[in-house]
């Protein structure tokens, strides 16, 4: 049974010495998000789900763009606390589970879900599609399926294990699917794929620091998958 949530790992999550795998996933995820958020094409309102320390706020602020119109959410109060610093710059913060966002239908132009594997469920994608305007976009990343099958194996593919400094092991949900199954989840939610990118060191120019992500016998390493999906307009794919 997995009763824990990210609050159990929040204190250490962003410590790159203690958790280099999280550190690498965050950097590769940011690479994809940054490449998909063209400076002159960031539609608002923006909703970030499962945000932890908001990568969207960091990207926009780094470009001197306003954080007004950005809502940062997370199911864990402790993870959301990393984003407190962005509220004085105009972002709104709220504790909210990704599959129950408590926002009106069609109220959001852009949704960002960085490393969304803990809640990558049909229920989340249906909820995200509900709050998205017609024609709106969702940009999301997950650890790559190729990495997950190699490192976790088939039996543990839906579990992320963290070993804390005190030796405690925390197992958290992590839903990572093959590409066909992931696309089926999008389609069932009324979403269609507009971009897919398999990001590793070759594509990003980033180095891997975590031994868990390295595989000396593999030539083209894959770290994260990035997806951009669009909401179908009146059932029509545009």
Ligand X SMILES: C[S@@+](CC[C@H](N)C(=O)[O-])C[C@H]1O[C@@H](n2cnc3c(N)ncnc32)[C@H](O)[C@@H]1O
Q: Which residues bind ligand X (CB under 6 A)?
A: 6, 26, 29, 49-53, 55, 74-76, 79, 97-98, 114-115, 118-119
Rounded to a whole number of angstroms, the minimum distance from the CB of residue 55 to ligand X is 5
Least separation, in Å, of the C-beta of 211 and ligand X?
Answer: 19
The C-alpha angle 153, 142, 236, rounded to 5 degrees, equals: 120
Q: Which residue is nearest to ligand X (CB)?
A: 50
Q: Least CB distance from residue 234 to ligand X, whole Å?
A: 29
Q: How far is the CB of 136 from ligand X (least distance, A)?
A: 19
In the complex with ligand X, the residue whose CB is nearer, 2 or 237, is: 2
Q: What residues have CB less than 8 Å from 2, skipping those under 6 apart?
A: 159, 171, 172, 173
| Residue 233 vs residues 99, 105, 108, 186: alpha-carbon distances, Å | 22, 14, 15, 14
**Nearest to ligand X of 115, 229 (CB atom):** 115
Q: In a 3-state reduction of DSSP, which class is residue 78? A: helix
The smaller minimum CB distance to ligand X, of residues 73 and 222, is found at 73
Please report how many Cα atoms fall inside a 13 Å half-sphere around the Cα of residue 61, on the Cβ side. Answer: 15
Nearer to ligand X, 19 or 137 (CB): 19
């Amino acid at each position: 049974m997995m009763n824990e949530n990210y609050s159990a790992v929040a204190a250490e999550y962003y410590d790159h010495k203690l958790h280099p795998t999280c550190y690498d996933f965050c950097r590769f995820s940011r690479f994809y998000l940054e490449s998909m958020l063209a400076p002159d094409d960031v539609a608002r309102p923006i909703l970030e789900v499962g945000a932890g320390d908001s990568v969207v706020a960091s990207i926009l602020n780094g470009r001197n763009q306003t954080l007004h119109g950005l809502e940062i959410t997370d199911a864990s109060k402790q993870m959301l606390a990393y984003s407190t610093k962005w509220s004085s710059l105009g972002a709104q913060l709220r504790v909210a589970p990704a599959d129950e966002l408590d926002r009106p239908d069609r109220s959001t132009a852009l949704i960002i879900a960085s490393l969304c594997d803990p809640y990558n469920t049909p229920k989340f994608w249906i909820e995200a599609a509900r709050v998205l305007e017609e024609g709106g976009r969702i940009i999301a990343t997950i650890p790559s399926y190729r990495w997950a099958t190699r490192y976790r194996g088939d039996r543990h593919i839906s579990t992320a294990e963290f070993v804390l400094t005190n030796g405690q092991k925390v197992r958290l949900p992590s839903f990572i699917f093959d590409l066909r199954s992931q696309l089926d989840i999008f389609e069932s939610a009324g979403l269609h794929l507009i971009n897919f990118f398999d990001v590793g060191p070759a594509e990003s120019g980033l180095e891997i620091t975590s031994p868990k992500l390295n595989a000396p016998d593999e030539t083209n390493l894959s770290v994260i998958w990035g997806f951009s999906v669009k909401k179908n307009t009146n059932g029509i794919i545009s």
